[in-house]
Structure 1
Amino acid sequence: PVDRSGRTSLSSPLPGWSEADPAAHLGTRFSCPVQVENDCKLAAVAERWRGAAQDADDIVYLLAGLRTGAGLILDGTLRRGHGGAAGEIGALKAVRWLTAPDHLQSCPGMPATAAEGEAAAWVFQAARDGDRDARTAVRRYTRDLAVGVAALVLALDPQVVVYGGGFSRSADVVLGPLHRELTKHCLRMPELRASTLGDESVALGAVRLALDEVDSRLLSDGLAAPTAPRR
C-alpha cells in the first residue's frame, strides 16, 4: 500500500520498500508529474472503467495470483483509506490469504520441475480435466480465499465481486467453488464475475489514473475542453 504522497509508509514484502518514495525518485528523472498507486486499486479502477464491472458502483476487486489482494470501489469512487491500506484484509492471518495459494503448489501428481506460476496453471488444467486431487486443491484454495472475500462482502455489501489477476485465466474452474463457499458466509450474495481484462488491468488502471490527473490539472488551470461550433 502507498499513501497519498506515493510513499510506501507501511510494511511491504519487498525488501527495501518498507519506506520508499518512488514518486520522488522518478521525479528527478522525468520532467512530467509522477503518480504512484497500489496495483489492486488500479486494477479495480480499470474493471469499472473498461472491464467486468462497468455497470456497478459498489465493487470488491480480487487480485488473485501467487499473492492475493483487494481493491474497493464504493459509490463509484476508489476507496484508499486514510493511509492507503483500504482492502488489505489479507494482512489478518486468520483470513488465510497468505497461505491460500499453497494448496495449489502442493497438489499430488504435479511435475516436480514446475515453477510456482506453472504449478498453479497445471492444477487448474488438471481440475478442468477432472483430476480428483486437483479439484480438491482448488476447493481448498477457494475455501481459504472465501474467508477474506466474505469479510469484505459482509462489511461493504457490494453489487459485484470481480475475480481478477493472473489466476483469472482459470476463472471457469474457480468461480463455481468460490460461489459455493461464499454462500456459506454471506447474508446477501453479490454477483461474482471474472475479470475481462486479465493481466492488463493494473496497467489500464494506471492509464485511467493518469487521465484523471490530466483532467484535474486542466480544470485547475481554468482550461476547458473545446466545444463544437454552433451551426
Structure 2
Amino acid sequence: MTDERHDQGQDRGHDERREGYRGTGPGAITPDGCAVDLYARLPVNDEPEVIAGAVPPGASLLELGCGVGRMTHPLLDLGFRVTAVDESAEMLARVRGARTVRSPIERLDLGERFDVVLLASFLVHAGSLDVRRGLLDTCRRHVAPDGCVLIQREGEDAHTNVPRERPLGTDGLLRVASATPVAEGVDQVHVEYEFPDARWTQTFLSRPMGRAEFEQALTEAGLAVDEYLTEDRIWVRARPVAV
C-alpha cells in the first residue's frame, strides 16, 4: 500500500504546547507532552484484538490520535483500512502503510464517513470540556450511520489508586506518580517511564468521569452506548443516534 499523507490547512500552527501539558526526556515532545521515542517503545497489548472482536472484518477505520502507529500497524495486519490522525508530524512520520492526516482531533473534518471511528488512549478524559466535546463531535461527524465508535476510558480507579507502578514490556517501568486536583473536576496527572537507558515524564490534565457522566457526554454528542466490551468497562462501543 502506498502511504497517503495529508495536512489539513486550517490547522497550521498547532505545534504550540497545550496549557497544562508537558513532557521531558530524549527526542521530540508533542504538544500534549508525549515523547515520540518513548511511544515507539511501548508494547502492543490486547487492544487490537478487542477492536477486531467488536467490528466487522476489513472495516474502514478512522484512528484518532494514532501516535507512532502502535495500534495502527497491528490493525493494518488484521485487514482494516486505516486512516490515521495525529497532530504531531514527528509521530506520523513513524506510521507506515496507512493514509495519515495531520490535524488536532477536535478540529478534524474530512468530509467522509467510516465504518469505525476509534478514540483510544483515554483521550475522552481531556481536561477541557470544550476539547472533550470537540473530540466526541469529531467521532459523530465521521462515523457512518450504521457504523460505530470505539472509545477507551480510564479505569475507574485511575485517579485514586496512586502512586502505583507496573512493568512496561520486558525492561521498562511505568509509574503514575500523582493525580493532583487543579480545577473543579480536573486532575493534573504526572507519569514517569523508566528504561535502563532512558527516562521520560509526562504531565497532563485529565477529567475523571463516572459511567453516568460518560454516557451523558455521549448523549450530548449524538451517540449512545451499544456495549461495554470489557469487564472493567474501559472499552466501549457506541452507536450514532438517528436524528
Per the normalisation by structure 1, the TM-score is: 0.29
Between Structure 1 and Structure 2, the one with more strand by share is 2
Of structures 1 and 2, the larger Rg is shown by 1
Higher relative contact order (CA 8 A, sep 6+): 1
Between Structure 1 and Structure 2, the one with more helix by share is 1
Per the normalisation by structure 2, the TM-score is: 0.28
